[in-house]
Structure 1
Amino acid sequence: MLFGVPYDQLAILAVGLLAAGAATGILAGVFGVGGGAVIVPVLYELFGVVGVPLEIRMPLCVGTSLAIIIPTSIRSFQAHRAKGAVDMEVLRAWAVPVVVGVIVGSAVARYAPPGVFKAVFIFVAGLSAYRLLTGKELKFGTGMPGPAGMVASGGIIGVLSSLMGIGGGQLGNLVMMAYGHTIHKAIATSSGLGVLISIPGALGYIYAGWPKAAEFPQVAAIQFPFALGYVSLIGFLLFIPTSIWTAPIGARIAHSLPKRKLEVAFGLFLLIVCLRFLWDVVAR
């Protein structure tokens, strides 16, 4: 026993997280993404194997994903900003409403049933899958919306990202490209959203899940020191090294495939995840 947890349970969880991190690294390298769109579904299946109940499985995945995103989002933002590619005016206009949206999303996470998290994931991932599979881009105009539009869009990005466990890149890219920004400018600016979302989001999920350890004493994955609230510390520590190690393997695979095939492949991956979560919602 270690901290009251049987060694066999701990071994299964640790080996599973290492394997899940490796799988996520390959998928992230192939599809060019590293956020919750890949991390959350992989963790969802792993936590199911080790017996995490449905009532807390999805928020545990989302909170852990937000924590995992923190170091990569900071490094990504610093790199893009050093190259002068970040539109700081857009980022400043989004900063407050995005953080407020994350706080609201974290508060919702404390009380929301599992179906809410899955519905948000299905909606956002489904929209991305449709765009990737059809090759169609949304077009709202040129420039960016006025102050009210920036507040509204920033708040929505914050809420949805915090409930889905993503760094906001998918949604930020979608909005900026719809208003005529190039994909490179959109990606660079959206990298800043990852910092604004992941740090307060992870802290919010620690608070939201704090009482759950006492409610589920038999679940090792939610107990301290293996987790803080809805953030799996062991997941955070074991996921990052293996995902970083295997990401170049996925990148080499990606370079051998045409861009359109990668878009279709990632679209199909997101579609499968949507159907998986939809099945859970309908079946229960």
Structure 2
Amino acid sequence: MDILLFSALILVITGSVIGFASGFFGVGGGFLMIPVQYWLLTSLGIDPTLSLRVAFGTSLAAILPTALSSTWGHHCRHCVLLRPLALMAIPGIIGGFVGAAISTHAPGRLMACLFGVLLFLAAVRMFFSHAPPGNEHIPESSRVYLPWGFAFGFVSGLFGVGGGIVMVPVMTTILRIPLRKAIGTSTAFMVCSSTSGIISYIINGLDVAGRPPYSFGYVDVAYWCVLVAASVPLARLGVRAAHTTPPEKIKLLFVVLMIGIGLHMIFSNG
């Protein structure tokens, strides 16, 4: 099979999976897009460090349209908390830009290990906590949301993910926000955090030699087109599934997902 056709097929499958995951879990899907793109790019002979940065930037760029589709679905079901979202948006945009700027200069292996440890700890915390009921009081103080908004955005930009893989556990276990509303708000927040991260990856990669063809900064436009075309339609299906699945089952699946990805990032030799 031709290498370009094979790469397109792998990206279509990846995009379909992350589209569903975005709607169902409120995550961007970078945890899957990044290793797949990294593998494809390095197999084409592109420098491993450069491949990782392109994978980060392209992942964030693909998250944006998928998150927009998922956000609308969650908003129609009244599961996007607008005030917390507004309070977290600006610090999230700043955090996303700063995180992406740091990531474009940090050692790739160190970043992977740190992300893996972060996911593993978040999974343990989420597993041993009790999900708040749907009528739980939502924190109103801006002092609660502003620093968390920066932290979520920073994680998003730093690791090329939407931030939901960390945001949802924090919102449910620390802020005590019901799971479905945490998922909906996380999805909407990804629109803000990924936008600033994308800009940073583009700016920091414009003059870098050795990038793949059809790339704009650290964003591979060809990979982006295939991922988006596959992920956006599946995002709405994921939203429907999230609103028909019991919260405890979603929580368990989320924990398993985080542990698996975390261990892979820690022990992978890539």
Fold match by TM threshold 0.5: yes
TM superposition shift of 1:175: 2.9
**3-state secondary structure, aligned to 2:104:** helix
Q: Which runs of 5+ in 1 are unaligned?
A: 1-7, 217-221
Structure 1 range deviating more: 82-91 or 227-236: 82-91
| Contact 1:59–1:117 under 8 Å retained in 2 | no
In the alignment, structure 1 residue 233 sits paired with structure 2 residue 221: yes
In the alignment, structure 1 residue 190 sits paired with structure 2 residue 186: yes
Pick aligned residue for 1:168 from 163, 171, 175:
163
Give the equivalent residue in structure 2 for 1:278. 266
Structure 1 range deviating more: 111-120 or 232-241: 111-120
Give the equivalent residue in structure 1 for 2:149. 154
Distance in 1 (alpha carbons) for counterparts of 2:42 and 2:125: 30
Give the equivalent residue in structure 1 for 2:129. 136
**3-state secondary structure, aligned to 1:154:** helix
In the alignment, structure 1 residue 181 sits paired with structure 2 residue 177: yes
TM-aligned CA distance change 1:64 to 1:260, over 3 Å? same
Give the equivalent residue in structure 2 for 1:101. 95
What is the aligned-residue RMSD (CA, Å)? 3.8
Distance in 2 (alpha carbons) for counterparts of 1:51 and 1:23: 26
Distance in 1 (alpha carbons) for counterparts of 2:204 and 2:27: 27
1:203-225 alpha-carbon deviations (Å, 9 max, x no partner) = 2111122222x2x2xxxxx3342
TM superposition shift of 1:260: 6.5
In the alignment, structure 1 residue 242 sits paired with structure 2 residue 242: no
**3-state secondary structure, aligned to 1:62:** helix
TM-aligned CA distance change 1:38 to 1:28, over 3 Å? farther
Give the equivalent residue in structure 2 for 1:200. 196
Size of the aligned set, in residue pairs, is 266
Give the equivalent residue in structure 2 for 1:223. 212
TM-aligned CA distance change 1:265 to 1:52, over 3 Å? farther
What is the 5 A alignment of 1:18-167? 18-22=12-16, 24=18, 34-131=28-125, 134-137=127-130, 143-144=138-139, 146-167=141-162
Q: Which runs of 5+ in 2 are unaligned?
A: none
Distance in 2 (alpha carbons) for counterparts of 1:207 and 1:11: 30
Distance in 2 (alpha carbons) for counterparts of 1:174 and 1:196: 19
1:38-57 alpha-carbon deviations (Å, 9 max, x no partner) = 32233333333333322122
Q: Please give the TM-score of this superposition, normalised by the length of structure 1.
A: 0.74
TM-aligned CA distance change 1:95 to 1:29, over 3 Å? closer
| Contact 1:120–1:160 under 8 Å retained in 2 | no
Q: Please give the TM-score of this superposition, normalised by the length of structure 2.
A: 0.78
Identity over the aligned pairs, expressed in percent? 29
The residue type paired with residue 88 of structure 1 is L
Distance in 2 (alpha carbons) for counterparts of 1:32 and 1:25: 10
TM superposition shift of 1:124: 3.3
| Contact 1:120–1:164 under 8 Å retained in 2 | no
| Contact 1:131–1:137 under 8 Å retained in 2 | no
